[in-house]
Structure 1
Amino acid sequence: MVKTNSKIPVFFCIPDITGFTKFMMSANQDFAHEVIPNILQTIIKTNILELNVAEIEGDAIFFYKTGRLPSVQKVARQCKAIYDAFNNFIASYKEIDIQNYEKYLANNQLGIKIIIHHGKISISNIEGHIKLMGEDVILVHKLLKNSVQQHNYILLSQQYLDKLKDKKVAKNWFNWDKLQKGKDSYEHFGSVPYHYIAFADVKKLSKTKA
């Protein structure tokens, strides 16, 4: 095992399917095992930020990127690309399998949330497999379990927001007027603040290239 002891700045982006457990428990298993892997594959193909995939975790993709923090504009575009690809995939079942669509996918039975976080990690190489280590790896996964009641939303950790040098630029890409404050308490971390916004409230993205 090879481990780097130095702490590396890292940007995290974790898209996670909401309604996953209910879907897996109630849907026809052949249908469920067709839909979920294809959703995850569709999300991976939206990789505008050229993120690394640390793990595929059943209903989520653990994306990360070391080095320079991506611009807010690109982060917003990445989130929107994931959301649009997810919705287009779900909508495609209206044409290819209307019966299962109506039963298991219609009316937002599945949704998508995206956790955005910034922190530090160390990296281990275990038998050729890269493993991310550190408290921020634990924290970003804990943020998946939060008290936000929305079905489709972006959660921006306070640590991520604190890294932004220009809050005015961020305001242009996320609708700051609709950004809601939240916090949850996690064992060993205490109270963790964050902001979140429903995808329906995100400002329409400019067509200007990032």
Structure 2
Amino acid sequence: MENKDELESAFFCVPDITGFTKFIATTDIQFSREVIPALLRKLIDCNVLKMKIGEIEGDAIFFYKTGRLPAVSRVAAQCTALYKTFSDFIASIKNNDPENYEKYLADSQLGLKIIIHYGDISIANIKGRIKLLGQDVIIAHKLLKNKIPDFNYILLTDKYLSKIKDRDNLQRWFHWEELRTGCESYEFLGDVGYRYITLDEMDFLLDTEVSAMFKPSKKTA
């Protein structure tokens, strides 16, 4: 094993399928085996920030990007593109496979949450595979399980938000004044504060202004 000792600052974007465990447990196996991999492929292709993939964990894609922090508008557009891709995929099942849609998806059994975080990582090479290490990597993973009751939302950690100096941009793209406050406490890590907003409240980002900013890339850096 070769380790890269230097810490690097990294932006994390982790889209995660809400309701995944129940869906797998209660859905026809053939249908779930088709739906979940196809949905994950769509979300991977929706990589407008040209992020790298640290790992894929069944229902979550661990995107990250080192170097300069992406602009708030670009982060908002990435989140919007992910949600639109998710929504369009579910709608396509409704149109093309209405029977299974009614049985397994009509009651919004699946949702999408997106964790946005910023912190330090160490990169290890383990037999040719890249592994991300560090406290902030653990925090991003831990936040996939939280107390937020909604099915579709964006979670922005306080550590990420502390890097954003322009509150006008946060207000424009993430309704800063309306962001709800939350906090999780983890053993050895302490309290992790965050703000969140439901993705339904982000629908205004689907307008032509944002659509013109990016076209989803089919390549993952």
TM above 0.5: yes
Moved more, 90-99 or 22-31: 90-99
What are the Cα deviations for residues 29-75 of structure 1, in whole angstroms up to 9, with x where unaligned? 00000000011000011100001011110000000000000000000
Say which SS state the counterpart of residue 4 (structure 1) adopts. strand
Which shows bigger deviation, 186-195 or 32-41?
Answer: 186-195
Q: 2:16 touches 2:114 (CA, 8 Å); kept in 1?
A: yes
Report the equivalent of 2:165. Answer: 165
Name 2:59's counterpart in structure 1.
59
The answer for the alignment partner of 1:179 in structure 2 is: 179
Say if 1:178 and 1:108 are closer, same or farther in 2 by CA, change over 3 A.
Answer: farther
Secondary structure of the 2:76 match is: helix
Partners of 1:11 and 1:64 within 8 A in 2: yes
Contact 2:167 2:176 in 1 (8 A): no
* Amino acid aligned to 1:90: I
Correspondence 1:60-75 to 2 at 5 A: 60-75=60-75
Alignment-derived partner of residue 199 in structure 1: 199
| 2:191 counterpart of 1:153 | no
**Amino acid corresponding to residue 166 of structure 1 in structure 2:** D
| Aligned 8 A contact 1:18 1:112 in 2 | yes
How is 1:37-116 mapped onto 2 (pairs within 5 angstroms)?
Answer: 37-116=37-116
For the Cα contact (< 8 Å) 1:173–1:203, is it kept in 2? no
Alignment of 1:118-157 (within 5 A): 118-157=118-157
Letter of the 2:177 partner, please give it.
Answer: D
- Say yes or no: does 1:20 pair with 2:25: no
- Give the partner amino acid of 1:71: A
3-state SS, counterpart of residue 204 of structure 1: helix
Kindly state the Cα deviation for residue 197 of structure 1 after the two structures are TM-superposed: 0.3
The offset of 1:200, in angstroms, is 1.4
| Contact 1:9–1:121 (CA under 8 A) maintained in structure 2 | yes
TM-score by length of 2: 0.92
Corresponding letter in the other structure for 2:71: S
The Cα of 1:177 is off from its aligned counterpart by 3.0
The residue type equivalent to 2:181 in the other structure is K
Distance 1:202 1:89 in 2: 18
1:203 CA drift (Å): 5.9
Q: Percent identity?
A: 53
Rounded to whole Å, the distance in 1 between the matches of 2:3 and 2:74 is 31
Return the structure number with greater relative CO, CA threshold 8 A, min gap 6. 2
Runs of 4+ in structure 1 off by over 3 angstroms are none
Report the Cα offset of residue 154 of structure 1: 0.2
Indicate the RMSD between aligned Cα atoms, in angstroms: 1.2
SS at match of 1:53: strand
Counterpart CA distance in 2 for 1:21 and 1:127 is 31
8 Å CA contact 1:174, 1:203 repeated in 2:
no
Task: Give a deviation string over 1:157-206, Cα, whole Å, max 9, x none.
Answer: 00000011212112111112321000111111122110000011126126
Structure 1 residues 58-101: Cα deviation after superposition (integer angstroms, max 9, x where no partner) = 00000000000000000000000000000100111112211110
